[in-house]
Amino acid sequence: MKHNKYITFIYYTHKMIIPIKCFTCGCVLANKYRYYKEEVRKKKLAKGMEDIEKVLYLTKEFNEKTPEGEVLDDLGLTKMCCRRHMLTHVDIE
């Protein structure tokens, strides 16, 4: 039986991942992030927004709930600490 002299390398893309749990309250976040991103994209496209990466800011003129806020409510993430993780996470590719 011959042993393979070559070493097999597995290359991974380095990507920043969402924290598994919220640092403050311990709520599990990692299993919700992909769903959150996909649903926000769907809601923005349904509202006719051309730039789905555009951030909507609350002002006197615009005081409706944003697509991000709607999805976070649907996921049951009502605590500010958990919402902060989802809203401010940056995917590094």
pLDDT for position 63:
84
**Structural domain spans, the chain:** 1-93
Two structure tokens written together for 60: 């006197």
pLDDT for position 9:
52
Q: Rounded to two decimals, what is the model's pTM? A: 0.74
The span from the CA of 74 to the CA of 34, in Å, is: 14
The span from the CA of 78 to the CA of 89, in Å, is: 17
Is pLDDT above 90 for 52?
A: no
Which of the listed CATH numbers 1.10.10.60, 1.10.150.130, 3.90.1640.30, 3.40.120.10 matches domain 1-93? 1.10.10.60
Q: How large is the average pLDDT for residues 57-65? A: 84
